[in-house]
Amino acid sequence: MERRLFIAIDIPPDPLLSSHVGEMRRLTQFDKIKWVELHNLHITLRFIGETPESLLKPIIGALQKLRGAYPSFDCTLGKLGIFGSSYNPKVIWMGLSAKEHFTAVSLLINQALLEAGIAMDNRPFVPHLTLGRINHCNDKNNLRNTIETKSGAYERIIRVEAFHLIESKLTPKGPVYTKLHSVLLSID
């Protein structure tokens, strides 16, 4: 049996973020965008993918060695952007500050996973919060204008104190996430 795994930092929604995303949904209602459920918002540090059950304990053991290995830190969520080109937009994302901290934690995780038998991920790491995946955009100018208008309209400081090993089960209603293990960063 295999499990679909990833490692991430939770981003609990607040009423202002809910309102902000709701307004973007309204402004892009004629586009086909799969919006991330607010209770599923997270910053992915490493997508592992389909993983044999036999590797679960070694992964947890390797991650546990990282407990307190990096200090907790603050980041600011806010600016919006799009992955893909302006002609073929793919993902609506929210940017964050403290990229050097996310990159350092991601590197520690990658090294720990290597010890557990998981190959390194050599793709460039771009820390972000995915808000929606664009299946089809009817009005690219409207989408660009919405992103430009709404970028910076929401800003929030998040304290990052832990990351989590999460299992993702894909269902017709969307993914269901289950935390399998949490690792605390060191507290100042």
Summarize the confidence of residues 98-127 as an average pLDDT: 93
Write out the two tokens for 27.
Answer: 């402004």
Cβ atoms of residues 120 and 77 within 8 Å:
no
Q: Which tens digit of pLDDT belongs to each residue from 122-166?
A: 888 999 999 999 999 999 999 999 999 999 899 999 999 999 999
Residue 13's pLDDT is what? 86
Question: Rounded to whole angstroms, how far apart are CA atoms 49 and 71?
Answer: 27
pLDDT tens across 83-94, in order?
A: 998 889 999 999
Domain count, the chain: 1
Helix ranges, the chain (H): 15-27, 56-64, 99-115, 140-150
Q: Give the pTM.
A: 0.92
CA 104 – CA 143 distance, rounded (Å): 33
The pLDDT value recorded for residue 188 is 64
Contacts of 168 (CB under 8 A, 6+ apart): 4, 5, 6, 175, 176, 177
Percentage above 70 pLDDT, the chain: 99
Domain span holding position 165: 2-184
Window from 171-175, 176-180, 181-185 with minimum mean pLDDT: 171-175
User: Residue 134's pLDDT is what?
Assistant: 97
pLDDT computed for residue 11 by the predictor: 93
CATH number of the structural domain spanning residue 113: 3.90.1140.10
CB atoms within 10 A of CB 160: 21
Q: What is the mean pLDDT of residues 101-112?
A: 96
Q: Is the pLDDT of residue 6 over 80?
A: yes
Amino acid at 96: L
CA angle, 110 then 45 then 42, to 5°: 160
pLDDT at residue 55 tops 70: yes
Calculate the average pLDDT of the chain.
94
